[in-house]
């Protein structure tokens, strides 16, 4: 899925580390022979090294072989508000190089930021004379396509009906998705089919996914299931204070999604108000209809109360969290809470 055009200068920008890594590897592979990669790839952090040093390296002939790849991370000067450093970058030196790059060097600038200031001259020159590659996080509607693409690369089959399980456990993190798919491929072998049972057994369970499972247990008024999920998390050394914060975060997003929906906002309009990935908002909208506004307000109040209790050490942590689950489910059942 990663397709890189030939160029002497590249700008990779965005917050999806998998796409940055894949594009970077592709550029190195198409530029250098395997035997030249060890000595002819150099990497710099522009938060520690001035860009003129990178330019000097790019202009220097390769030590061995016919070409070299120079990679520079964190070009803060491409941000609208650059971070303050102990030195200043000579951006003019970079501008001159971009317009006349060394034919034996491929320069790769990696900006792992959500946004760049596209009005800046250096960005415009990179776009004009180089190749700008967008590495932003995958959109929720593209997750199924990525699961299929990675499955094809690994020569395994992941039935469409279990794609939801992948997205719930892993979300839209492509690097994590790739690692989990590789783990499953090792188990089923080339040409194998991933079953729901195997996926449930082997997929690494993210804290966010576990938080959603606890939300669902409350939603379904299933105290036994909620306690079982908590006990599994306890075995993984998850702390009750962190789990309370996680639940609070989940319910706050559900509450925000409900309020915005009642005000007539569409899902794609909510991102400006809810600081979460679109997939998280989508999951919140799936759940908000099972709670009333009053229930959500009471749940959030109870979570705040338990957080205070835990931090003050007023009750043994594990017992306090189990009591929290009991109280949340009684709120959902619209029953009075008895201490």
Question: Distance between CA 58 and CA 55 in Å, rounded?
Answer: 5
Q: Return the residue matching tokens 């007539």.
A: 264
Model confidence band, residue 338 (pLDDT cutoffs 50, 70, 90): very low
- Helical packing angle, 223-235 and 207-219, nearest 10°: 160
pLDDT higher than 80, residue 334: no
Question: What pLDDT is recorded for position 235?
Answer: 78
Flag the least confident range among 13-22, 164-173, 214-223: 164-173
Strands 41-45 and 68-73: parallel
Q: What is the pTM of this model?
A: 0.59
The percent helix, strand, coil of the chain (3-state, each to 5) is 60, 10, 35
Domains along the sequence of the chain with CATH: 9-134 (3.40.50.300), 140-202 (1.10.8.60), 207-332 (1.20.272.10)
Q: Return the residue matching tokens 């689950």.
A: 325
191 or 211, higher pLDDT: 191
pLDDT higher than 80, residue 37: yes
235 exposure class (CB count in 10 Å sphere: 0-12, 13-18, 19+): exposed
């Amino acid at each position: 899925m990663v397709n890189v055009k030939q160029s002497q200068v590249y700008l990779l920008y965005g917050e999806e580390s998998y796409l940055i890594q894949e594009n970077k590897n592709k550029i190195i592979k198409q530029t250098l022979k395997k035997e030249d990669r060890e000595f002819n790839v150099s990497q710099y952090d522009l938060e520690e090294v001035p860009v003129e040093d990178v330019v000097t390296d790019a202009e220097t002939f390769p030590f061995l072989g016919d070409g070299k790849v120079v990679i520079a991370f964190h070009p803060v000067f491409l941000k609208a508000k650059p971070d303050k450093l102990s030195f200043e970058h000579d951006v003019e030196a970079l501008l001159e190089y971009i317009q006349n790059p060394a034919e034996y060097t491929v320069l790769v600038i990696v900006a792992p930021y959500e946004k760049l200031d596209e009005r800046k001259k250096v960005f415009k020159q990179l776009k004009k004379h180089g190749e700008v590659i967008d590495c932003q996080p995958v959109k929720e509607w593209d997750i199924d396509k990525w699961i299929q693409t990675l499955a094809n690369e690994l020569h395994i089959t992941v039935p469409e009906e279990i794609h939801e399980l992948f997205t719930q456990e892993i979300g839209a993190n492509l690097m994590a998705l790739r690692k989990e798919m590789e783990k499953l491929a090792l188990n089923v072998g080339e040409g194998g089919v991933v079953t729901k049972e195997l996926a449930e057994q082997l997929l690494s369970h993210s804290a966010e996914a576990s938080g959603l499972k606890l939300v669902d247990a409350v939603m379904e008024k299933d105290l036994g299931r909620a306690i079982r999920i908590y006990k599994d998390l306890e075995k993984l050394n998850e702390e009750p204070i962190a789990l309370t914060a996680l639940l609070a975060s989940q319910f706050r997003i559900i509450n925000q999604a409900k309020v915005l929906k009642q005000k007539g906002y569409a899902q794609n309009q909510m991102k400006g108000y809810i600081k979460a990935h679109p997939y998280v908002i989508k999951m919140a909208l799936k759940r908000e209809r099972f709670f009333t506004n009053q229930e959500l307000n009471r749940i959030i109040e109870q979570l705040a109360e338990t957080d205070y209790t835990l931090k003050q050490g007023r009750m043994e942590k594990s017992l306090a969290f189990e009591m929290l689950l009991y109280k949340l489910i009684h709120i959902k059942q619209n029953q009075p809470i008895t201490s």
